[in-house]
A and B are shown apart, each in its own frame.
Chain A
Amino acid sequence: MSMQVTANQTDAGIELLPSSLVGQSLRCVRNDRVLFENLDIRLNAGEILQIDGANGSGKTSLIRILSSLAQPDEGQVCWKGKDIHAFRTDYLEDLLYVGHSNAIKVDLSLLENMFFARALSVKANEQIFEDVLHRLGLLEHADLPASNLSSGQKRKLALSRLLVCDAKLWILDEPLNSLDESSKAVVTDIIRAHIKAGGSLVLTTHEEITWDDIRINRVSL
């Protein structure tokens, strides 16, 4: 279903900005239940796409489709005008995904987890791990196994990828889950800095995010 799209315009005629994520006529069926159909989404550089919906409404399915982990039953997702499955490597170079699971190895220390997470990224920031852990309030646990962390601390460790990997598009599934108020503030600051630097973000969250100077597109399922 790869539809070739020109650099700045999709076949449907939607004009694309250089870093835009466009989903057209997306349809997703799970267990004979239509989660969503005819769904169009669009995200430009410096914008946020927030996906709302009740539990089981298909938020995570949409996130997985947008991240290329799953294919839509109908429709197409393009990044910079190219189908994300046909040009997977190009897309993945620009993508950072933090899913519902933390992707943390509890038998490894925090520093080891960060080291291996950064290794998987093609573009890695030369951030010093200790600085990142200090910012997230995890420095004192740096050399301990991640099994010692609480669920909120594990979530913060998962989100440390935002700082050690370099990507234009972040896709985050419930990033603020399990975080206390001060940690939420730290993470939203990180998100804000990313958007201000011209990055894009797709996220699902039950939290209210409002910034006057940042455009937030909302999709309700």
Chain B
Amino acid sequence: MQRLSSLAVFSCLLKRELLLGLRHRSELLHPLLFFLIVVTMFPLALGPEPEQLRQIAVAVIWVAAVLASSLSLDMMFRSDFEDGSLEQILLSAQPANVLVMAKVLAHWLLSGAPLIVSALTLSYFLYLPQSATVPMLATLLLGTPIFSLIGSVATALTVGLRGGGMLLALLILPLYMPLLIFAVSAVNNAVQGLSIKAELYFLSALLVLALTLTPFATTASLRIRLS
């Protein structure tokens, strides 16, 4: 009889989620395509003037990222709920918080990371100054994991509910607003040559807070949904 460590189980579950994600690419592509289409609509609607696009670039990218991210949240626990895997996860003697974290990390790797790459590419087409590229990358690197972490709580509360997708969006979008405000402010400050330290500290603090608290909240929410 072998006894597996929590870290080994975390790695196994992460590997399983990545495997499933890669074998189900269409689900991954939908939020990414949504993001690309939303961002592309703004130059079509406003016209190709570089100055105008430059002014709205940060806001457009971040709002589109928030919306695309909320679309992708639904897939975090849905299939596990439907096929009974969620019961197995919650009935594992391994710490459920650790297992939930593996799923959240997999979600970020499969949806958040591609979003960052796309956002940086699209910022070029929206004439975002080069001086803003690194701050944009920093805010996305801090912000997209927060999307997944906070989103996991709301997703856990709504998994399996009829009309849960709309409820999820209504629950989650207000929670993303502070993140949106500070991230856009950071990049705009960078464009104007101002310091962005305060905003980055705030986003970092938010990430640490989410990392600390959301695994417990998500696990508790999942237990409530399954009971």
Chain A residues packing against B (C-beta within 8 Å) = 64, 67-71, 89, 92-93, 95, 97, 99-108, 112, 115-117, 119-126, 166
Contact = CB atoms under 8 A, between A and B. Distances in A.
Given A108-B16, A119-B8, A119-B12, A67 B91 contact: yes
Interface stretch (B19-27, B37-45, B146-154): B19-27
Contact of A69 (B8, B12, B94, B226): B226
Contacts of A97: 87-88, 91
Interface of B: 1-4, 8-9, 12-13, 16, 19-20, 23-24, 79, 82-85, 87-94, 99, 226-227
A69 B89 CA distance: 11
Contact of B87 (A101, A115, A126): A101
The B interface, classified by DSSP as helix, strand, loop or mixed, is helix
A120 B83 contact: no
Among all A-B residue pairs, the 3 with the closest Cβ atoms: A101-B84, A119-B12, A103-B84
Given A97-B91, A122-B93, A123-B1, A107 B83 contact: no
A221 to B, nearest CB: 19
Of residues A92, A120, A123, A125, which shows the largest number of chain B Cβ atoms within 10 Å of its Cβ? A120
B136 to A, nearest CB: 35
Contacts of B83: 101-106
Contacts of B90: 69
A124 B2 contact: yes
B174 to A, nearest CB: 31
Contact of A119 (B4, B24, B85, B91): B4
13 contacts: A69-B87, A69-B90, A69-B91, A69-B226, A70-B227, A92-B91, A97-B91, A101-B82, A101-B87, A117-B88, A120-B89, A124-B1, A166-B1
Contacts of A112: 16, 19
Contacts of B8: 119
Contacts of B88: 97, 103, 117, 120
B1 A105 contact: no
